[in-house]
Amino acid sequence: MSLTTYLLLFLAATAAGCIDAIAGGGGLISVPTLLAVGIPPQLALGTSKAQSTVGTMMSTWRYAQAGLINWTEVRLAMLVTFLSSIAGAWVLMQTSNGILKLIIPWALFGVAIYVYLNPTMGERAKPARMSVVSFALLFGGLIGFYDGFFGPGTGAFWTLAIVTLLGSELTRATAYTKAVNLASNVGAAGFLIWKGDVLWPVALVMIFGQLIGNYVGTGLALHRGAGFIRKVFLVVVVGLILGLIVIDLLKAKLAT
């Protein structure tokens, strides 16, 4: 692999980390880039998950330093998400995620419409509609499993659930999302590392980009607040929808 290719992967990881820290969806950049340079799909997914996990550690640390993560509130969700993501990754090895590939773009489309029609979403905290424990058990189990099994849109689903059901302001919801994403990333990445699906020379180069990108992205989110996060969030969700559709079309074309 050439120096130019490593530079491209570093830049892609930096951009992915920046977007991921603000609104999630960094895999929309990192996975296609890894595939584009000729890395096989399973290695691309494993390498992407490994490098993004380290980046998420950076953004989680920065949000925690800003006092936006209540560890008492989030720790159960992190534990359930961690265990569920391992289960999801294991089930993926035994089955196919074909049905989800059809359903998820429509689910994300619903998220995009909801956010677009609610321009003040997450600007102020509201009363919670669920207890912290119930929320952690339900969504930690569902979204954690989904992240290990498939993954695209995980951050969007978490953020929307946290804002609408826990009543969190959008910046705090983003911080909560980073903490639970870290848990599911560690679970799924650990499983993929155990299977040997990580290309470490590439992952290490991308980790440096992820650390820079997540540091910058978290700073932007903290300084510019809920309105900025909402705009980036909406762009990322639309990008995920288009990305999933394009990937499926390309696969169908290659299969014919």
Distance between CA atoms of residues 95 and 105, nearest Å: 20
pLDDT at residue 13 tops 90? yes
Q: What is the pLDDT of residue 245?
A: 79
Q: Which of 55-64, 66-75, 143-152, 190-199 has the lowest mean pLDDT?
A: 143-152
Q: What is the pTM of this model?
A: 0.87
Between 27 and 158, the more confident residue is: 158
pLDDT at residue 154 tops 80? yes
Between 256 and 214, the more confident residue is: 214
pLDDT at residue 14 tops 70? yes
Q: List, for residues 246-256, the tens digit of each pLDDT value.
A: 766 766 665 56
Q: Which of 207, 223, 121, 214 is nearest to 169 (CA)?
A: 121
Q: Which of 215, 175, 186, 218 is nearest to 70 (CA)?
A: 175
pLDDT at residue 155 tops 90? no
Please give the tally of structural domains in the chain. 1
Burial 74-101 (b: 16+ CB within 10 A, else e): beebbebbbbbbbbbbeebeeeeeeebb
pLDDT band for position 151 (50/70/90)?
confident
Say if residues 88 and 245 touch (Cβ distance below 8 Å).
Answer: no
The torsion angles phi and psi of 97, rounded to 5 degrees, stand at -100, 25
Domain span including residue 229: 3-255
Q: What is the pLDDT of residue 93?
A: 75
Q: What is the pLDDT of residue 255?
A: 59
pLDDT at residue 67 tops 70? yes
pLDDT at residue 175 tops 60? yes
